[in-house]
Structure formats: C-alpha cells, structure tokens
Amino acid sequence: MLAGGRKIRRLLVKPPPANFAGPYSSWQDAVAHSDGWDSSAILEKTLDLSLKMRDGLIVFQQDAIEYDRIIYSETILAFLAMASGMNGGKLDIVDFGGSLGTNFAQNRKILRPFIDKGKCAWNIVERQLTVDLGRKHFEDANLRFFGALDDLKAQRPELPTSFLFSGSLQCIDEPFALLDRIINGGINLIAFDRLFVSPKAQHEIFIQRTDPNMQYRATYPTWCFSRNLFVETMTSKGFALVEDFAIPPGAHHGPNTRYYWCGMIFARHKH
C-alpha cells in the first residue's frame, strides 16, 4: 500500500518548466552546455535597465525584465523587519548576488527612514565585472559593492549578521560550502527569496533558458533544491525556519505536484 502511494506521488510530480533542460549529472556538465552566468548579454541588459530605473525612466526592473510598478517581495519585507529588530533598529545586511542593486532599489521607499537616519548599510557581494559597474554607477554611502566576502570583511572587524539571497543561491556552484562559511562567521538571520525548489528527495542541476519573449538570449546552470532536504540541512546547522512564502504571493503550488519558487527565512535557534 505504501509503495503504491509513493508511485502515485511520483506520477503527480510534473517535469520542470519548459525553459529548463536536464537534470545534469554535475554543475561542471551544465556549465559546459550553457553560456554560463558570465554571459555579457545578461549583464548588458541588466545595466541598461538599472540605469533607466536609477534615472526615473522606468519604474522597476528585475532579472533584466522591465515592469511598470514595483514588485515587492513578502520574503524581503519580512526579512528587513526582522533584521532591523535584531540589530537595534539598524539595517546592516549582505545581499549576496544582489546584481546592480535591484533589491535595494526595489525597497528604497521602505529603506528611506533608515537611510535618512544613517542606519542603512546594504552590502552587495557579486562577480567582479558587476562590482566594477556597481561602483561606477550606483554606489553611495548606503549601497556598496564587493567582489568577495573577504573584501567586505577586510574593511570591518566582522561581517554583518543578516544575509539575503534573492534568486542567487541556486546560481552558485557549491551553495552549501558557501552557506557553511557564512554560518560559521556568526550570522543570526538568513533569507532566501525566489528559491527554485521541488518536492523531490534530492537536489538537481538544470540549465535554464531565458524566456523567448525577452530581448536577449542566454542559458545558465541552476540548482533546483529539494525543499524538504534544504530545510533539514539548515535545521542541522542550528537554524529554525521562521516562515516560508509562496511566489507569487497567494499562489498555492502544491509541493507534491510541481517544481516551484518560494521564499524562506531562517533564524539561529537562540533568536
């Protein structure tokens, strides 16, 4: 009976969305069959739209897609509230893979009281090409760019204790090695927004293709995390799942029926 139930559950699990290929046997294999995250097309389009957003020519952009309104994230808004509460009313965070400041720009209105009082430090860790563009076009007293965690740590006695990954953790070749390093550095709060997950028992690796309607073409490797295994791993590292969020808000994907995106916030157990 139990075996039959498992078979039915497998049949309910749909394949990944049409713009994904795989799974692949390794990250290196997926890299070899894709353009990779260093594709110039991605960065050029992101820079173009980010500059237009900075100059007020468009309202919002995310993942090199233009929007006529700001698309807020429940995960990030909750994360900002928790981060400020756990840090005496100050925001001092690391936005890992934060591109050219998308999340900072997205939440600028929310951040305004912190910025006006000098209580906002938004630190982006990115690839060096992105860092160079970020420093040239977007960096200011509240928004700073770094090519590695060591670069950030070299300028302060210790790292911030609140970390944000927004659509970025699945783009890293060894995500759990990175998480171990961050956690061992003493963080207390970590949020994952737009995390690609599935109900499967193990993590998988795919190649993602840009939407055919977009103005540029690119392919890049991505992890799809087992949702349950991901939570178990974070719990084993001393973190409790505070909340998880459906993306888009209010959507009910049914974790047993499809691949989907979600948001999660974890806090160290003592908090």
pTM: 0.89
pLDDT of 6 over the 70 cut: no
* 186 close to 270: Cβ distance less than 8 angstroms: no
Q: Are strands 189-198 and 91-96 parallel, antiparallel or unpaired?
A: unpaired
Cα separation of 199 and 254, whole Å?
A: 9
Domains of the chain and CATH, by start: 39-197+229-268 (3.40.50.150)
Question: What are the beta bridge partners of residue 263?
Answer: 245
What pLDDT is recorded for position 12? 41
Confidence of residue 1 (pLDDT cuts 50, 70, 90): very low
* DSSP 8-state class, residue 202: S
What pLDDT is recorded for position 259? 87
What pLDDT is recorded for position 159? 87
Which segment, 64-78, 131-145, 200-214, 244-258, is predicted with the most confidence on average? 131-145
What pLDDT is recorded for position 18? 67
Q: List C-alpha distances in Å: 98 to 11, 32, 45, 139.
A: 37, 25, 15, 13
What pLDDT, in 10s, does the model give residues 101-112?
999 999 999 999
